[in-house]
Amino acid sequence: MSLKKIAELANTSVSTVSRVLNTPGHTCHTPGLSEKIWEIAKELEYIPNEAARNLRMGNNTTEETFYADILLTRFDSIDKDPFFAELFIHIKEELLASNTLLGETLNFTDIMSLSEKDASTKAVPYKTSSKVIEESPAASPAFISKKRNTGLILLGKCPQGLFPVLKKRYPYIAGIDRNPTDYEYDEVICNGITAARKAVEYLIKLGHNNIAYIGDCTFESRYTGYYQTLLDHKIPLNYANVHQTGQTEKEGFMVMEDIIKSKERPSAVFCANDITAIGVLNALKSNKKRGYLPSVISIDNICPSQKTTPMLTTIDIPKKEMAHLAVMLLLDRKAGRHRENIRIELPCRLVERDSCTYNY
């Protein structure tokens, strides 16, 4: 598939398409154009690197092209979580730089569904983890074939029951998350507990002791860091301040509207991620006549966090470095340079902006 065809479908120039697909880190001035070009290229199965072109043309002198599938563990689409959307862009850049092709972008439904067209390339529903481990083509219709010359990068927290399926499916796996596993596979993390502690410690330093939490509470490291920090400072955990959500902008908006209407309102709000906090800030803006302006802090430091009013105070997660190291681990595992499962933990840092103030 030619660059010209992609340019026509994206309504842009061939040179722009070439820069996006062949220059790591290139960003178009038109918002969303880079993402649109990548999406069209993937749909048309465009192969940007020279090694893959040689393979397609039947040149056997080049090494077989390696692919990397992406599994989204929280949402069914990359567009639903800006943090992972930005991380995904960095992963594509790293894959391109290492002559590795982006394969399929999958969610749980994809992993656990059977394709009628090609049953050998899809996993199918299974009963138990032990069944998956013991299965064989003759003994079970739930046989899962190994995907040839393809690795998997996990984005987000993966249910433990799915590990056996993924390991049978993929010879090489690397994960990126804020919640570490028990060394189930190679992983790059920025510990959610540490990030949450840094956020809540900052609020306490500003004089806040009535701090709400908005986010996931189910085996979630950010929630653990939140309540542990409160207890460390002898601040009782008020369960009325804990709001379970799926960590979306819409839910952040709805929860904050409920908080605004409540009688006892917190002086500060800690959100598990930036997109939730953006919803919170939008709710406060819509209700500004009520005169309630709590401090708001979150985790991720996605690009939109710099454009909110007020600008969002957040904990930066080093997305580019996490993407680089995940691809590095995947390729290192493929080359047989390490056998033990490896965890690389990166630091987070506080980004002070305007959404947090002293509580006098």
CB burial readout 240-262, b (16+ within 10 A) else e: ebebebebbbebbbbbbbebeee
Average pLDDT, the chain: 85
- With bands split at pLDDT 50, 70 and 90, how would you rate the model's confidence at 21? confident
pLDDT over threshold 90, residue 46? no
Percentage of the chain modeled with pLDDT above 90: 58
- Residue 40: its pLDDT value, please? 83
What is the arithmetic mean of pLDDT over 28-52? Answer: 72
- Residue 24: its pLDDT value, please? 57
- With bands split at pLDDT 50, 70 and 90, how would you rate the model's confidence at 71? very high
Token pair 């399926």 is found at 165
- Residue 124: its pLDDT value, please? 44
- Residue 282: its pLDDT value, please? 97
What is the arithmetic mean of pLDDT over 96-113? Answer: 82
Q: Cα(285)–Cα(295) distance, rounded to whole angstroms?
A: 13
CB of 95 closer than 8 Å to CB of 331: no
What is the arithmetic mean of pLDDT over 69-82? Answer: 88
Q: Which residues, in sequence order, are CB contacts of 161 under 8 Å at separation 6+? A: 129
- Between 160 and 214, residue with greater pLDDT: 214
- With bands split at pLDDT 50, 70 and 90, how would you rate the model's confidence at 230? very high
- Residue 338: its pLDDT value, please? 96
Region of poorest pLDDT, from 136-140, 167-171, 255-259, 280-284: 136-140
Token pair 């689409």 is found at 77
Region of poorest pLDDT, from 41-50, 57-66, 123-132: 123-132
The structural domains of the chain, ordered by start, are 1-46 (1.10.260), 63-190+320-345 (3.40.50.2300), 192-316 (3.40.50.2300)
- Between 49 and 161, residue with greater pLDDT: 161
CB of 355 closer than 8 Å to CB of 202: no
- Between 127 and 90, residue with greater pLDDT: 90
- With bands split at pLDDT 50, 70 and 90, how would you rate the model's confidence at 63? low
Give the model confidence (pLDDT) of 131-177 as tens digits: 444 544 444 444 567 888 999 999 998 888 788 888 888 999 999 99
- Residue 58: its pLDDT value, please? 54
Q: DSSP for 49-78? A: SHHHHHHHTT-TTSPPPEEEEEEESS-SSG
Per-residue H/E/C for 129-187 = HHHHHHCCCCCCCCCCCCCCCEEEEEECCCCHHHHHHHHHHCCEEEEEECCCCCCCCEE
Q: Which of 78, 76, 2 is nearest to 40 (CA)?
A: 2
pLDDT over threshold 90, residue 188? yes
Give the model confidence (pLDDT) of 108-125 as tens digits: 777 765 333 444 444 444
Give the model confidence (pLDDT) of 302-358 as tens digits: 999 999 999 999 999 999 999 999 999 999 999 999 999 999 999 999 999 999 999
